[in-house]
């Protein structure tokens, strides 16, 4: 996130007045299956800036991954997507499959959660990178693509890139595969890199290395990054900006320091209290009582109200809006913000 | 890959020995005394003993088996009772015509079956998809002789589109065109069931492959649908080949009926004729050769699979 | 990856394993894994109409075979020379008459006796022997297991029909020899299904509990394993009857079954096919009857499998 990198990207996004790479407004995703409607996303607002790492933080099932896949429009006809997601001046929500294809991988790249599930098991690793390079026209010849693929494999920290390019995915460890997935994701210099829990499936020792790699790469290529995680520690270490999700909505968002050091929303508070830190020994952790709502169950009012320690009767009536409590910090909880203001 | 091939070959050897033992047992279970039937009712006790010794029938079973197996390796599987020539040679000649028919049916089943299965997988709501998924019960229920008869009645006899039997037109010039003309009906009758099974297998294997996690990853990289489908197909091929290899057994077994109905001068027709003539050596040689062919086909299938899916090479 | 399996199993693979993969098979597989082993019926669904109808028709088929002397309109073996080769639906001969003027419907009805016998008995034999082999293989030592499975592999190297032909031809024609030959080729697939089922049951907790309680090998096998593997085997064998009928008629067709003039479906196919051109209608009658009978058992097996919610893990 150097100044140079930012400047470069502003020039890249020619004609774009806002410096946000992606502006998501009131994004909703509804799945229809067997006559059932499941509201997975209920109005997401998000702005992603070049060179900056934004984290979507939340429990599993809160809609983090759905957000990423909705932006990339990876769902078929079973998902109804509403709102807008403006990327480089185009609203992705209105694009069809053909128009989305050149954007995927080239403009917006995704690093999936499970490295085993992100690579074609019967193709050599190098060929899979070459395929994407050739597809998006980044290289002119097959030979150049091959060389670039090996270069990328070296860039993501694989010790023997030439050999790695000739390997099949099953010959690699989880960490190595994730490095390959990252190499594929950055191969076309995407403006936005989305990482969906990129370390969850890895060994603890490898996790830190991969996260470091992400930080290094985003700052070197200057792309915007959306990191999806349930891990408060990851968010603290990496994020410039945090959005806390609960049941398909963002309940609190802002700069990492304000949101995670000085949380306002009762859910964020509870989430942080449930995480061990050096200051808080494990024994003093406070679990969050109850279960997150089953997806598809639409309760009136605030979804967190049934588990909320400060809930009032009014909480089950109106859906709380995100309200700015200070510059760049908004919270969707009238009760907390009132107390905060008082 | 070389190591895989060697190991796979090594695994084939005990199977082949097992096959030969089973065949030897079928020879031994034949009721009646072979010496008596060779000598006729007039044979003296001395002649009996002499012939028994000459045939080696007084030796332990294991020695008899070893001798029989040695003969097989030298291409001798006994003399045809009806035709008085080597049974294996007779079967070998007929086998070539059978391979023409079975090969044609196999290509037909693979090409059409894969095409239909792919279409059904990519367009899951189409009528074709429903027909394919409902086909299997019918496929395993309908015997080849039924199919052969029904097609001969409706496509050859009623409509007159195709010749009703034989391999070549005796009055015509012959040639490839004539052969193809004669191939269609027996080919379709043999191919229909494997075709349906392959189509169904391709469909389900493709649907499974398209539901794998990496498919979404591929799409997230901007690959068009056709390329993604190709990746999925590449992954589905080994499973499809397994089923296709099993269909070879169906084809080789089914030719007995199809060739009989269509008078196709192959191994199946030869076996049919040999049954009524009680010409056991020919039947045994035919079954032995078919088993050998089946084992070889499966060896080839496994090798292709391993060359396609690196995970199978270990 | 093991492709040393025969047609027989390919059929059954389709039949028993590959049901609609897009009906959420993932969750269904979990269902069966979580299934309480001793109560397969607990999750019983409603029996479909197709299953009920095929069950009723299967019973009817057996009833017709048993009651042949009563329901058959004519003597099966006595023909009327003046009534030769009548087409379908000709007066009192609904399915026409054959070359000797015999009523085809009556011959189909009487023919159901040997045809069903040669279809059902081999499956019963294979069910007994195959289950025993599967039990011993699935619960025996590693060596016993591999010996049994390797021997079965040898049988899979033969195209099933041809092996049956080789055995039946060696033994000589006749319905009992055909039954022996068919039993042999049906044992391997049943044994494989049984072995897979036993292996599945073996790994469940309640089996370990039974072993810990000190019950003996036979007592565990009979009291705990068998009841749990039986439903899957019964369902598999029901469908196998369909295939067995086809094979039995095939042997009859080749002259390896019952001897003429006794009516048998496969023999009738071969006898009537000479009239393919003069009387195409009657020529296909026995072939169609065999197909329908086979289809009935396959439908019944398929329906029972869904009804009992059995997912065989046989490979």
* Interchain contact, A122 vs B222, CB within 8 Å: no
Residue C261, preceding bond cis, omega within 30 degrees?
yes
Percent of chain C with pLDDT over 70: 82
Closest chain B residue by Cα to residue C155: B19
Does residue A22 carry a pLDDT above 50? yes
Segment B161-168 shows an average pLDDT of: 73
Please tell me the predicted confidence (pLDDT) of residue C11: 35
In the structure, what pLDDT confidence band is assigned to residue A184 with cuts at 50, 70 and 90? Answer: very high
For residue C35, being part of any structural domain is answered with no
Q: Which of C1, C173, C295 sits opposite B138 (nearest CB)?
A: C295
Percent of chain A with pLDDT over 70: 87
Instruction: Write the ipTM.
Output: 0.86
Q: Which of C5, C158, C298 sits opposite B137 (nearest CB)?
A: C298
Tens digits of per-residue pLDDT, A57-110? 988 888 888 999 999 998 887 889 999 999 988 999 989 889 999 999 899 999
Please tell me the predicted confidence (pLDDT) of residue A17: 40
* C192: nearest Cα among C60, C17, C40: C17
Segment C235-250 shows an average pLDDT of: 91
For residue C3, being part of any structural domain is answered with no
Long-range contacts, stretch C145-149, CB < 8 angstroms, 24+ apart? C145/C195, C148/C191, C148/C195, C149/C195
Tens digits of per-residue pLDDT, C254-313? 989 888 888 899 999 888 888 887 888 888 889 999 999 998 998 898 888 888 876 543
List, in order, residues 6 or more apart from B251 with CB less than 8 Å away: B102, B105, B106, B190, B194
For residue C22, being part of any structural domain is answered with no
CATH number at residue C273: 1.10.3720.10
- Check: CB of residue C104 under 8 Å from CB of residue C97: yes
Residues of B in contact with A170 (CB under 8 A): 310-311
Does residue C36 carry a pLDDT above 50? no
List, in order, residues 6 or more apart from A28 with CB less than 8 Å away: A39, A41, A42, A43, A44, A80, A81, A82, A83
Number of domains, chain C: 1
List, in order, residues 6 or more apart from B141 with CB less than 8 Å away: C242, C246, C291, C294, C295, C298
- Check: CB of residue C245 under 8 Å from CB of residue C179: no
- pLDDT, chain B, mean: 84
* Interchain contact, C160 vs B249, CB within 8 Å: yes
The residue that leads in pLDDT, A219 or A191, is A191
Segment A18-33 shows an average pLDDT of: 87
Token code pair at residue C18:
């590959």
pTM reported for the whole predicted model: 0.79
The residue that leads in pLDDT, A12 or B71, is B71
- Check: CB of residue C193 under 8 Å from CB of residue C11: no
Residue C180 to residue C188: CA distance in whole angstroms: 14
**Which single residue is written with the structure tokens 């997975």?**
A40
Q: How near does any CA of chain B get to the CA of C69, in Å? A: 27
- Check: CB of residue B213 under 8 Å from CB of residue A118: yes
Please tell me the predicted confidence (pLDDT) of residue B171: 61
H or E element at residue A77: none
Please tell me the predicted confidence (pLDDT) of residue A215: 81
The residue that leads in pLDDT, B192 or B158, is B192
Residues of A in contact with B221 (CB under 8 A): 104-105, 109-110, 132, 135, 184
For domain B88-313, give the CATH number. 1.10.3720.10
Q: Which of B212, B225, B310 sits opposite A170 (nearest CB)?
A: B310
Tens digits of per-residue pLDDT, A61-72? 888 889 999 999
Please tell me the predicted confidence (pLDDT) of residue A86: 93
Assigned fold of A3-107+191-339:
Rossmann fold (3.40.50)
For residue C94, being part of any structural domain is answered with no
Residues of B in contact with A100 (CB under 8 A): 222
Tens digits of per-residue pLDDT, B203-250? 888 988 988 889 999 999 999 989 999 999 999 998 888 888 888 888
For residue C25, being part of any structural domain is answered with no
Please tell me the predicted confidence (pLDDT) of residue A11: 38
For residue C45, being part of any structural domain is answered with no
Portions of chain A given CATH number 3.40.50.300: 3-107+191-339
Which of A229-233, B171-175, C104-108 has the weakest average pLDDT? B171-175
* Interchain contact, A121 vs B308, CB within 8 Å: no
Residues of B in contact with C174 (CB under 8 A): none
Q: Which of A104, A122, A168 sits opposite B219 (nearest CB)?
A: A104
Which of A167-181, C68-82, C290-304 has the weakest average pLDDT? C68-82
Please tell me the predicted confidence (pLDDT) of residue A71: 93
Q: What domain range includes position C177?
A: 58-83+101-314
* Interchain contact, B143 vs C294, CB within 8 Å: yes
Segment A278-302 shows an average pLDDT of: 67
Does residue C3 carry a pLDDT above 60? no
Identity of the highest mean pLDDT range in A38-52, A303-317, B139-153: A38-52
Please tell me the predicted confidence (pLDDT) of residue A278: 62
Residues 23 through 82 of chain C touching chain B, CB cutoff 8 Å: none
Please report, for chain B, the start and end positions of each structural domain, with discontinuous segments joined by +. 12-73, 88-313
Please tell me the predicted confidence (pLDDT) of residue A84: 92
Which of B62-71, C13-22, C110-119 has the weakest average pLDDT? C13-22
Tens digits of per-residue pLDDT, B59-117? 888 888 888 888 888 887 778 877 778 888 889 999 999 999 999 999 999 999 999 88
Residue A76 to residue A43: CA distance in whole angstroms: 20
In the structure, what pLDDT confidence band is assigned to residue A296 with cuts at 50, 70 and 90? Answer: low
Percent of chain B with pLDDT over 70: 94
Segment A141-156 shows an average pLDDT of: 92
Does residue C42 carry a pLDDT above 50? no
Tens digits of per-residue pLDDT, A224-280? 999 999 888 888 888 899 999 988 889 999 999 889 888 888 899 888 887 766 665
Please tell me the predicted confidence (pLDDT) of residue A282: 60
Tens digits of per-residue pLDDT, C189-206? 999 999 988 888 877 766
In the structure, what pLDDT confidence band is assigned to residue B174 with cuts at 50, 70 and 90? Answer: low
């Amino acid at each position: 996130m150097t100044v140079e990198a930012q400047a470069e990207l502003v020039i890249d996004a020619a004609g774009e007045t806002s410096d946000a790479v992606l502006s998501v407004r009131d994004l909703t995703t509804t799945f229809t299956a067997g006559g059932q409607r499941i509201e997975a996303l209920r109005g997401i607002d998000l702005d992603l800036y070049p060179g900056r790492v934004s984290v979507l933080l939340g429990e599993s099932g809160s809609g983090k991954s759905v957000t990423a896949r909705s932006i990339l429009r990876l769902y078929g006809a079973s998902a109804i997507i509403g709102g807008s997601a403006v990327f480089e001046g185009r609203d992705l929500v209105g694009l069809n499959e053909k128009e989305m294809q050149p954007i995927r991988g080239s403009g917006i790249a995704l690093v999936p959660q499970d490295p085993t599930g992100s690579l074609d098991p019967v193709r050599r690793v190098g060929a899979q990178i070459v395929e994407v390079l050739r597809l998006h026209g980044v290289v002119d010849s097959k030979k150049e693509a091959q060389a670039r693929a090996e270069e990328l494999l070296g860039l993501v920290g694989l010790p023997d890139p030439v050999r790695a390019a000739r390997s099949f995915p099953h010959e690699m460890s989880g960490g190595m595969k994730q490095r390959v997935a990252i190499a594929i994701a950055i191969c076309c210099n995407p403006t936005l890199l989305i990482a969906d829990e990129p370390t969850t499936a890895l060994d603890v020792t490898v996790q830190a290395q991969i996260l470091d790699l992400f930080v290094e790469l985003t700052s070197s290529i200057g792309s915007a990054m959306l990191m999806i995680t349930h891990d408060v520690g990851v968010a603290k270490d990496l994020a410039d900006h945090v959005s806390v999700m609960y049941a398909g909505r963002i309940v609190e968002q802002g700069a990492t320091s304000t949101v995670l050091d000085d949380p306002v929303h009762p859910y964020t508070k509870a989430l942080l209290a449930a995480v061990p830190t050096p200051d808080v020994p494990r024994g003093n952790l406070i679990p969050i009582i109850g279960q997150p709502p089953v997806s598809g169950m639409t309760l009136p009012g605030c979804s967190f109200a049934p588990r909320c320690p400060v809930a009032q009767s009014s909480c089950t009536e109106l859906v709380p809006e995100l309200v700015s409590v200070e510059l760049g910090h908004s919270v969707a909880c009238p009760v907390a913000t009132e107390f905060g203001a008082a | 890959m070389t190591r895989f091939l060697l190991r796979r070959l090594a695994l084939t050897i005990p199977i082949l020995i097992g096959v030969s033992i089973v065949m030897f047992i079928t020879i031994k279970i034949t009721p009646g005394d072979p010496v008596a039937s060779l000598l006729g009712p007039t044979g003296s006790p001395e002649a009996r003993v002499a012939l028994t010794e000459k045939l080696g029938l007084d030796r332990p079973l294991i020695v008899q088996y070893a001798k029989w197996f040695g003969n097989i390796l030298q291409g001798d599987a006994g003399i045809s009772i009806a035709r008085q020539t080597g049974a294996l040679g007779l079967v070998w000649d007929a086998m070539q015509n059978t391979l023409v028919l079975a090969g044609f049916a196999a290509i037909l089943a693979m090409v059409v079956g894969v095409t239909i299965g792919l279409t059904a997988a990519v367009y899951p709501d189409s009528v074709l998809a429903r027909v394919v998924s409902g086909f299997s019960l019918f496929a395993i229920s309908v015997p080849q002789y039924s199919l052969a008869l029904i097609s001969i009645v409706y496509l050859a006899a009623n409509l007159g589109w195709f010749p009703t039997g034989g391999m070549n037109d005796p009055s015509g010039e012959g040639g490839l065109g004539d052969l193809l003309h004669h191939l269609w009906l027996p080919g379709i009758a043999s191919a229909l069931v494997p075709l349906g099974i392959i189509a169904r297998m391709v469909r389900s294997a493709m649907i499974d492959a398209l539901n794998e996690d990496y498919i979404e990853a591929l799409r997230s990289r901007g690959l068009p649908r056709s390329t993604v489908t190709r990746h999925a197909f590449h992954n589905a091929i080994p499973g499809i080949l397994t089923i296709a290899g099993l269909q070879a057994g169906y084809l080789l077994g089914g030719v007995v009926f199809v060739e009989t109905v269509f008078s196709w001068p192959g191994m199946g027709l030869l076996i049919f004729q040999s049954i009524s003539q009680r010409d056991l050596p020919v039947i045994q040689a035919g079954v032995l050769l078919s088993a050998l062919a089946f084992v070889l086909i499966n060896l080839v299938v496994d090798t292709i699979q391993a060359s396609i899916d690196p995970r199978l090479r270990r | 990856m093991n492709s040393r399996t025969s047609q027989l199993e390919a059929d059954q693979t389709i039949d028993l394993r590959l049901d609609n993969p897009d009906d959420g098979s993932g969750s269904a597989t979990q269902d069966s894994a979580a299934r309480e082993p001793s109560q397969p019926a607990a999750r019983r669904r409603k029996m479909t109409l197709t299953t009920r109808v095929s069950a009723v028709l299967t019973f009817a088929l057996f009833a017709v075979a048993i009651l042949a002397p009563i329901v058959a309109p004519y003597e099966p073996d006595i023909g009327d020379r003046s009534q030769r080769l009548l087409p379908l639906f000709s007066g009192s001969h609904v399915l026409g008459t054959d070359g000797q003027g015999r009523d085809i419907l009556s011959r189909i009805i009487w023919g159901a006796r040997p045809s069903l016998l040669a279809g059902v008995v081999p499956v019963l034999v294979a069910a007994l022997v195959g289950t025993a082999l599967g039990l011993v293989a699935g619960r025996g030592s590693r060596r016993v297991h591999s010996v049994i499975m390797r021997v079965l592999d040898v049988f899979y190297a033969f195209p099933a029909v041809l092996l049956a032909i080789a055995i039946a031809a060696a033994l000589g024609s006749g319905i009992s020899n055909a039954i022996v030959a068919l039993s042999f080729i049906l044992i391997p697939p049943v044994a494989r299904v049984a072995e897979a089922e036993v292996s599945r049951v073996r790994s469940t907790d309640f089996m370990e509990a039974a072993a810990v309680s000190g019950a003996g090998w036979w007592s565990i096998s009979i009291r705990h394993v068998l009841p749990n593997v039986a439903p899957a085997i019964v369902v598999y064998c029901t469908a196998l009857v369909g295939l067995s009928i086809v094979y039995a008629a095939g042997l009859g067709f080749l002259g390896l079954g019952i001897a003429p003039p006794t009516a048998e479906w496969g023999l009738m196919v071969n006898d009537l096919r000479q009239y393919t051109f003069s009387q195409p209608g009657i020529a296909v009658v026995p072939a169609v009857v065999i197909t329908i009978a086979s289809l009935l058992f396959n439908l019944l097996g398929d329906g029972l499998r869904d009804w009992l919610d059995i997912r065989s893990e046989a490979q």
